[in-house]
């Protein structure tokens, strides 16, 4: 499908974002004669066929949550540190644009989490109101109690988010195509509390220790909500459509960006 209108989403708080987004627009408008429009990360709009995101993973996460409901492909150009969700560096910009416009890419649908009207591509993180103190949580799946946790918090992660906070907290890495979620307790006060992988069709309920306790939920570390008793988390009806170039499959990204299985002496 020929792309007629392209959005360029950027985060002006990141160094070089203005320079790179201007370079990208010149390529699209002048060299390929394709209409493009700038959108700041806080002023997103629909009505486009494709989205280039100039920034780090945080910029891509926010952009993804917005465009998921429009089923529009998203392609990340990394200006951050790790850039695990990005497909191109700024140095490879021209090559990436050429491939995208030639249709030499594939799209991969990534599942999301939902709580109320809040969605997350990476994860929901639930913590108590007192920083530095453990809190009590109860976990139910499909309205059946599973266990209680005394922990610093709980992470509910998608396969996409399994390489983020969940991995740092001791959770497993899931291949993005899996239809599953990961439940990871953060610093639990018991050796028997281990990460739990569940099908994405399950209803996950997190209950606070007491009805008057204040708990907080963050979506991708960017959107925040407060609750007192319990919350129900389930699979979102929307998916994020990530555009992927050849040679950037999940396993190569895992190896190249996380140095998976590489001896420390070689890093």
User: Any idea which residues carry the catalytic annotation?
Assistant: 57
CA distance 157 to 174: 10
Contact 50, 3 (CB under 8 A): yes
Contact 76, 83 (CB under 8 A): yes
How distant, in Å, are the alpha carbons of 63, 112, 147, 211, 236 from that of 69?
A: 11, 11, 34, 34, 10
CA distance 41 to 47: 16
Please report which helix (H) or strand (E) contains residue 58, including its range.
helix 57-67
Structure tokens of 233? Answer: 């988390």
């Amino acid at each position: 499908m020929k792309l007629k209108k392209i959005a360029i989403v950027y985060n002006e708080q990141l160094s070089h974002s203005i320079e790179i987004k201007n370079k990208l627009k010149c390529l699209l408008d002048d060299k390929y004669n394709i209409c493009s429009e700038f959108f700041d990360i806080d002023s997103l709009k629909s009505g486009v066929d494709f989205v280039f995101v100039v920034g780090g993973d945080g910029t891509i996460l926010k952009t993804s949550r917005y465009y998921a409901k429009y089923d529009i492909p998203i392609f990340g150009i990394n200006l951050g540190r790790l850039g695990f969700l990005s497909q191109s560096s700024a140095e490879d910009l021209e090559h990436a644009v050429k491939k995208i416009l030639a249709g030499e890419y594939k799209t991969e649908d990534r599942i999301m989490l939902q709580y109320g009207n809040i969605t997350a591509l990476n994860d929901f993180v639930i913590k108590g109101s007192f920083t530095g103190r453990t809190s009590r949580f109860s976990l139910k799946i499909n309205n059946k109690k599973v266990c209680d946790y005394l922990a610093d918090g709980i992470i509910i992660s998608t396969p996409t988010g399994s390489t983020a906070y969940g991995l740092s907290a001791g959770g497993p890495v899931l291949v993005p195509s899996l239809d599953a979620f990961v439940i990871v307790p953060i610093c639990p006060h018991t050796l028997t509390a281990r990460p739990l992988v569940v099908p994405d069709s399950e209803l996950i309920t997190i209950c606070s220790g007491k009805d008057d306790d204040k708990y907080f939920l963050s979506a991708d570390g960017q959107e925040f909500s407060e609750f007192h008793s319990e919350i129900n988390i389930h699979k979102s009806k929307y998916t994020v459509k990530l555009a992927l170039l050849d040679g950037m499959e999940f396993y190569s990204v895992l190896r190249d960006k996380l140095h998976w299985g590489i001896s420390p002496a070689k890093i």
